[in-house]
């Protein structure tokens, strides 16, 4: 019997920028070796266009992503919950590993200002994958 795949949930307030970029990197780097979700406490209507643009620069398409609200079922199904600025609005379930990534919010920012946020997220996702025993391809 094989070990189950590690599962991660990325949470931010609007599920339109940071968490979507994190999910995009995670999915791209982990492939089918891990499971990933993203959600928000107050989902926006669409993904931030600047986030879509900077991810496309890396060859990752998040243009079809749809912001969604977190559910207790998803939180209970994952091994790691990564929060990004949703504070007390984010769910807490005992027994889950939680990480809080302090990242600037890309909302209302131009592409030049979102690139450093994207790069920070990529580094954190790579580190998380390594901690989970998932080998990511080199840059």
pLDDT in tens, 69-124: 999 899 889 999 999 977 667 777 777 899 999 999 999 999 999 999 999 999 99
- The CB density around residue 71, as the number of other CB atoms within 10 Å, is 13
pLDDT of 53 above 70: yes
Q: Parse the chain into domains and list their residue ranges.
A: 7-131
The position carrying tokens 């931010």 is 12
Reference 37, options 47, 17, 48, 23; nearest CA is 23
Q: Are 47 and 20 in contact (CB under 8 A)?
A: yes
CATH number for the region 7-131 comes to 3.40.50.2300
Q: What is the pLDDT of residue 1?
A: 46
Give me the torsion for CA of 100, 55, 63, 90, rounded to 10°.
0
Q: pTM of whole model > 0.95?
A: no
- Does residue 88 or residue 36 have the better pLDDT? 36
Do you know the residue count of the chain? 139
Nearest to 107 by CA among 82, 83, 85: 85
Q: Which residues are catalytic?
A: 12, 86, 90
The rounded percent of the chain whose pLDDT value lies above 90 is: 81
């Amino acid at each position: 019997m094989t070990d189950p795949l590690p599962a991660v949930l990325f949470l931010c307030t609007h599920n339109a920028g940071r968490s979507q970029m994190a999910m995009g990197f995670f999915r791209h780097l982990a492939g089918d070796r891990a499971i990933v979700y993203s959600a928000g406490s107050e989902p926006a209507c669409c993904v931030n266009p600047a986030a879509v643009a900077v991810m496309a620069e890396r060859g990752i398409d998040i243009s079809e992503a749809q912001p969604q609200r977190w559910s207790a079922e998803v939180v209970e199904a994952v091994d790691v919950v990564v929060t990004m600025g949703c504070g007390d609005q984010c769910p807490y379930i005992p027994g889950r590993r939680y990480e809080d990534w302090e990242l600037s919010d890309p909302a209302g920012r131009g592409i030049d200002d979102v690139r450093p946020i994207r790069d920070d997220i990529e580094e954190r996702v790579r580190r998380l994958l390594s901690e989970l025993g998932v080998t990511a391809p080199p840059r």
